[in-house]
Structure 1
Amino acid sequence: MLVFEFKAYGKKNQYNAVDEAIRTAQFVRNSCLRYWMDNKKVGRYDLNKYCAVLARDFPFADELNSQARQSSAERAWSAISRFYDNCKKNVPGKKGYPQFVRDCRSVEYKTTGWKLADDRKSINFTDKKGIGRLKLKGTRDLHFYQISQIKRVRLVKRADGVYVQFCVDVERKENTEPNGTTIGLDVGLKEYYTDSNGTTVENPRFLRKGEKVLKRSQRRVSRKVKGSNNRGKARQILGKRHLKISRQRKDHAIKLARCVISSNDVVVYEDLRIKNLVKNHCLAKSINDASWYQFRVWLEYFGKVFEKITVAVNPQYTSQECSSCGAIVKKSLSTRTHVCKCGCVLDRDENAARNILSRGLGTVGHTGTFGLEPNNALGELTSTLTLRNPVSASRFVD
């Protein structure tokens, strides 16, 4: 499933209609959640049936497309099923009991309620909300796909306008020749990551660099009178500043992950629990600014696209253990150099990256391949190359 996003342009009354559709979707989602709380043994299809009851009782809910109402009910059931799964798995801590949404920013249509123009440059929403025809502007070309392949259409509201997302049912695959390279990655705050070959990538620190502008925008919001138009304009400017930083993080993670995956056959990284790491309030802002989890998600995604092996290993003692002799050398976070009695002197992060790689290769050696089909010849060849002939990949990730 691919998601293509386009900027939508329309008139003020159309934007107001989009806001009304989003509020209606939020109402349906919260109403379905309340229905589940008040009634026992309510399932997914019961929530879909309840959408018809809401449409009969509330005229504004009937104006929204029926499949869009069902999509909102599916969102409620997604939160409920996630809560059930966490309870069954005995996840430590809070199980994520479903909560009511206060600030919904999207509404999702399925295969009805919209019609794409023949030139693929505009879309017309045909339900009773009155959104009408919106012009589309983007870099993707929808002519390569049939209308039947578009399974979902989302209207997403952001600080800089309204966007239309198309969920296209197509499988993305890119074939590359195996080059026999392996790499271990140790993420950090000083450097974004250090690989097992000693190559480092600079941490961009997008939030830290834009923090001065954010603080100034926040002060302007605080000075305005609550409920005034000037405060609304100041809040919109502040939202655009945050949106820019989030887009910079995403763009950096995508480009870096694609470069790493396309240059190596096996990529090993730490299985970090970011939720636990950010409990350290001294480092929470820097950890969130680094966006390690987003980088991992894109590593795994491109691993499937390029049919490469990605392995997540336990990060315990990777910084303390010597990559040469295996001895434990305790060191504080401020100690940046690993010095062992065996004579091994390395940068702390490079030593950890080597330990991560050795653990990952040991895992691959026992189980064969990760993220590949059992009969995939490329996967079998890749695992053989990585175990027998690991070569340097530093030239690819500079």
Structure 2
Amino acid sequence: MLVMEFKAVLKESQRVAINEAIRTARFVRNKVLRFWMDNRGIGKKELYRYNTQLRDEFEFVKHLNSHACQASVENVERAIKRFFDNCKKKVPGKKGYPKFKKYSRSVEYKQSGWELSPDKKSIKFTDKKGIGQVKLKGTWDLWRFDQKLIKRVRIVQRADGYYIQFCVKVDTSEQLQATGCNVGLDVGLKEFYTDSNGYAEPNPRFYRKGEKRLKFYQRRVSRKKKGSANRKKAINRLGRQHLKISRQREEHAKRVARCVIRSNDLVAYEDLRVKNLVKNHCLAKSINDAGWYQFRKWLEYFGEKFGRITVAVNPAYTSQNCSACGAVVKKSLSTRTHVCECGCELDRDHNAAINILTKALSTVGHTGTYINARGDSTSTLPGSDLVEQVGSLNRESPDF
């Protein structure tokens, strides 16, 4: 699947209509979820039947395209399935019980409710919400795809405007020549990552650099009267600054991951649980700023696209064990140099990267791209459907 995103050029009346469509989709989702909570044990057929009842009962729900309402039901269905899967796997901590949504920023259409213009520069939404013809602004070329290949269309609201996403069912895989190189990566806070060859990628620290500006906009928000128009404008400016930083972090992770995958036949990295690591309040801001999860996500996606092997290994003792003799050399986080009695003296992260690569190479039975050193499949598989792509994983920048 390939997700192609365009900026929407809208009139004020269209903005109001899109907001109404988003609210309606959220209403359907919450009502269906409440129906499931009140009637435990029902299946998905009952959920879709209740969706039909909602369309008969509420006129504003009927105005939204029927497939868009079904997409909201699918969101509930996936949340329920994910909750029960976590229970069966006995995932520690919270199992992700489905929750009601107070805020939402998207509405999703399937293969009906919209028409693409012949020049592929605008899209018309044909339901009764009144969105109408929307001009598309972007560099993607929709001409080379048959309209039948477009499986989903989503309208997404962000701080800097509205976007239209197209989910196109195409094969994006490419075959590259073997390089004969393998690499292990140790992500960190001082450096973005250090590989087994000793190269250290600098950590850009986008949030730290933009923190001063964020604090300025945050003060502007706190000084405005609650509920006023000026406060909404100040919140929007703050949101735009956060959006800029998140885009910088995502593009950096994408660019670096693509270069690493294209340069190596096998890439090994730590199977880190970032969700648990950020519980350390002393390091949470720096860990989130580094963007380890985004980097791993793009490594796995490009690994599948280019036919490379990506291996997530257990991070236990990768920093403590000596990469030369295997002896355990205990060290605190402040100790940045690994010194062993065998004479091995390396940077702490360089030593860990070598251990990560060694663990990956010792793993037998590489049956696919997504295999970690414990034999489990990795957790961030690029999805096959737009509705599962919150971060639009398959959307590649045309600049790369």
Alignment of 1:301-340 (within 5 A): 301-340=301-340
**Whole-Å separation in 1 of the counterparts to 2:164 and 2:102:** 22
- Give 1:44 deviation, angstroms: 1.8
Q: Which residue of 1 aligns with 2:102?
A: 102
**Whole-Å separation in 1 of the counterparts to 2:252 and 2:102:** 31
Gaps of 5+ in 1: 374-398
**Whole-Å separation in 2 of the counterparts to 1:17 and 1:372:** 42
Check if 1:139 corresponds to 2:119.
Answer: no
Alignment of 1:70-85 (within 5 A): 70-85=70-85
AA aligned to 1:106 is S
Deviations 1:290-312 (A, max 9, x none): 11011001000000100000000
**Whole-Å separation in 1 of the counterparts to 2:258 and 2:307:** 12
- Give 1:351 deviation, angstroms: 0.2
**Whole-Å separation in 2 of the counterparts to 1:48 and 1:351:** 55
**Whole-Å separation in 1 of the counterparts to 2:15 and 2:277:** 40
**Whole-Å separation in 1 of the counterparts to 2:121 and 2:47:** 35
- Give 1:248 deviation, angstroms: 0.4
Q: Which residue of 2 aligns with 1:9?
A: 9
Q: Which residue of 2 aligns with 1:195?
A: 195
Q: Which residue of 2 aligns with 1:370?
A: 368
Check if 1:209 corresponds to 2:196.
Answer: no
- Give 1:50 deviation, angstroms: 1.3
Check conservation: 1:105, 1:156, Cα contact below 8 A: yes
**Whole-Å separation in 2 of the counterparts to 1:52 and 1:287:** 45
Higher helix proportion? 1
Check if 1:48 corresponds to 2:48.
Answer: yes
Seen in structure 2, the aligned counterparts of structure 1 residues 80 and 156 have a Cα distance that, compared at 3 Å, is same
Check conservation: 1:122, 1:136, Cα contact below 8 A: yes
AA aligned to 1:348 is R
Q: How many residues align?
A: 371
**Whole-Å separation in 1 of the counterparts to 2:76 and 2:366:** 39
Q: Which residue of 2 aligns with 1:229?
A: 229
Indicate the SS of the match to 1:316.
coil
Indicate the SS of the match to 2:30.
helix
Check conservation: 1:309, 1:371, Cα contact below 8 A: yes
**Whole-Å separation in 1 of the counterparts to 2:366 and 2:87:** 32
**Whole-Å separation in 2 of the counterparts to 1:372 and 1:71:** 29
Indicate the SS of the match to 1:142.
coil
AA aligned to 1:238 is L
Check if 1:354 corresponds to 2:354.
Answer: yes
Indicate the SS of the match to 2:362.
helix
Q: Which residue of 2 aligns with 1:175?
A: 175
AA aligned to 1:296 is R
**Whole-Å separation in 1 of the counterparts to 2:347 and 2:280:** 24
Deviations 1:236-295 (A, max 9, x none): 100000000010011001100000000000000000000110010000000001110110
AA aligned to 1:222 is S
Check conservation: 2:311, 2:370, Cα contact below 8 A: no
Seen in structure 2, the aligned counterparts of structure 1 residues 288 and 14 have a Cα distance that, compared at 3 Å, is same
Check conservation: 1:87, 1:95, Cα contact below 8 A: yes
- Give 1:370 deviation, angstroms: 2.9
Check conservation: 1:184, 1:354, Cα contact below 8 A: yes
Seen in structure 2, the aligned counterparts of structure 1 residues 372 and 337 have a Cα distance that, compared at 3 Å, is closer
Deviations 1:196-251 (A, max 9, x none): 00000000100000000000000000000011110011011000000000100110
Alignment of 1:110-121 (within 5 A): 110-121=110-121
The ranges of structure 1 where at least 4 consecutive aligned residues each deviate by more than 6 angstroms after the TM superposition are: none
Deviations 1:362-391 (A, max 9, x none): 11xx21443289xxxxxxxxxxxxxxxxxx
Check conservation: 1:307, 1:372, Cα contact below 8 A: no
Check conservation: 1:110, 1:153, Cα contact below 8 A: yes
**Whole-Å separation in 2 of the counterparts to 1:40 and 1:319:** 48
AA aligned to 1:40 is R
Check conservation: 2:21, 2:129, Cα contact below 8 A: yes
**Whole-Å separation in 1 of the counterparts to 2:239 and 2:223:** 16
Q: Which residue of 1 aligns with 2:123?
A: 123
Q: Which residue of 2 aligns with 1:295?
A: 295
**Whole-Å separation in 1 of the counterparts to 2:14 and 2:145:** 27
Q: Which residue of 2 aligns with 1:344?
A: 344
**Whole-Å separation in 1 of the counterparts to 2:184 and 2:367:** 16
**Whole-Å separation in 2 of the counterparts to 1:370 and 1:272:** 20
Q: TM-score scaled to structure 2, two decimals?
A: 0.92
Check conservation: 1:261, 1:299, Cα contact below 8 A: yes
- Give 1:13 deviation, angstroms: 0.6
Q: Which residue of 2 aligns with 1:239?
A: 239
Check conservation: 1:189, 1:290, Cα contact below 8 A: yes
- Give 1:57 deviation, angstroms: 0.9
Indicate the SS of the match to 1:144.
coil
AA aligned to 1:367 is G
**Whole-Å separation in 2 of the counterparts to 1:370 and 1:60:** 47
Check conservation: 1:270, 1:313, Cα contact below 8 A: yes
Deviations 1:18-58 (A, max 9, x none): 00000000000001100000012222222122111111111
Check conservation: 1:309, 1:369, Cα contact below 8 A: no
Indicate the SS of the match to 1:53.
helix
**Whole-Å separation in 2 of the counterparts to 1:371 and 1:49:** 40
**Whole-Å separation in 1 of the counterparts to 2:367 and 2:261:** 15
Check conservation: 2:310, 2:370, Cα contact below 8 A: no
Q: TM-score scaled to structure 1, two decimals?
A: 0.92
Gaps of 5+ in 2: 372-400
**Whole-Å separation in 1 of the counterparts to 2:102 and 2:205:** 31
Check conservation: 1:311, 1:370, Cα contact below 8 A: no
**Whole-Å separation in 2 of the counterparts to 1:229 and 1:152:** 35
Q: Which residue of 1 aligns with 2:398?
A: none
**Whole-Å separation in 2 of the counterparts to 1:45 and 1:167:** 26
